[in-house]
Amino acid sequence: MLEIIEKHIRTIEQTTLPTAGAAEAFRIQYLGKKGIVQALFTDFKTVPGDEKRAVGQALNTLKTAVEAALANVVMKSPGRKKGPTEDFSRPGYATPPGAHHPISLVRNEIVSIFERMGFSVAQGPEMEDDWHNFSALNFPSEHPARDMQDTFFLAKDPDWALRTHTSSVQVRTMETQKPPIRIIAPGRVFRNEAISSRSHCVFHQVEGLYIDKNVSFADLKQTLLAFAQAFFGEKTEIRLRPSYFPFTEPSAEMDIWWGLENEADHRMTKGTGWLEIMGCGMVDPAVLTSCGIDPMIYSGYAFGMGIERIAMQRFQIPDIRAFYENDLRFLKTFSGAL
Show which of 76, 93, 110 is a domain's final residue: 76
| CATH number of 132's domain | 3.30.930.10
Predicted confidence at residue 226, as pLDDT, reads 95
Give mean pLDDT, residues 35-53. 80
Give how far the C-alpha of residue 282 lies from the chain's centroid of Cα atoms, to the nearest Å. 29
Residues 128 and 27 in one domain: no
Residue 334 in domain: no
Q: Which of 218, 236, 240 is nearest to 228 (CA)?
A: 236
Predicted confidence at residue 229, as pLDDT, reads 94
Distance CA 305, CA 204 (A): 9
Residue 313 in domain: yes
pLDDT band at 85 (very low <50, low <70, confident <90, very high): low
Which secondary-structure segment (H or E) carries 310? helix 307-315
- Report the Cα–Cα distance between both ends of the chain, in Å, rounded: 70
The pLDDT tens digits for 151-185 are: 888 877 778 888 989 999 999 999 999 999 999 99
Residues with Cβ within 8 Å of residue 102, at least 6 apart in sequence: 311, 314, 315, 317, 323, 334, 337
Predicted confidence at residue 39, as pLDDT, reads 84
Select the highest-mean-pLDDT range: 40-49, 54-63, 84-93, 283-292.
283-292
- Rounded to two decimals, the pTM is 0.67
| Residues facing residue 206 across a β-bridge | 186, 305
Residue 54 in domain: yes
| Number of C-beta neighbours around residue 114 at 10 A | 22
Residues 223 and 136 in one domain: yes
Burial class (CB in 10 A: 0-12, 13-18, 19+), 66: buried
Residue 91 in domain: no
Residue 93 in domain: no
Residues 66 and 178 in one domain: no
Predicted confidence at residue 86, as pLDDT, reads 67
Give mean pLDDT, residues 315-324. 85
Q: Name the more confident of 298 and 320.
A: 298
Residue 92 in domain: no
The pLDDT tens digits for 110-122 are: 999 999 999 999 9
- Cβ atoms of 288 and 270 within 8 Å: the answer is no
Counting the structural domains of the chain, the total is 2
Q: Name the more confident of 73 and 103.
A: 103
Residue 72 in domain: yes
Predicted confidence at residue 337, as pLDDT, reads 58
Confidence check: pLDDT of 311 > 80: yes
Q: Compute φ and ψ for 208, nearest 5 degrees.
A: -125, 155
Residues 257 and 149 in one domain: yes
Residues 275 and 212 in one domain: yes
- Cβ atoms of 321 and 200 within 8 Å: the answer is yes
Predicted confidence at residue 78, as pLDDT, reads 55
Span of 86-90, 108-112, 180-184, 310-314 with lowest mean pLDDT: 86-90
Is omega for the bond preceding 140 within 30 degrees of 0, making it cis? no
- Please report, for residues 2, 37, 47, the alpha-carbon distance to residue 51 in angstroms, rounded to integers and kept in the order given: 9, 18, 7
Residues 221 and 286 in one domain: yes
Distance CA 40, CA 31 (A): 11
Residues 166 and 51 in one domain: no
Q: Name the more confident of 234 and 50.
A: 234
Confidence check: pLDDT of 73 > 80: no
| Number of C-beta neighbours around residue 251 at 10 A | 19
- Cβ atoms of 273 and 254 within 8 Å: the answer is no
Residues with Cβ within 8 Å of residue 146, at least 6 apart in sequence: 134, 139
Predicted confidence at residue 218, as pLDDT, reads 95
Residues 108 and 22 in one domain: no
Q: Which domain holds residue 195?
A: 102-325
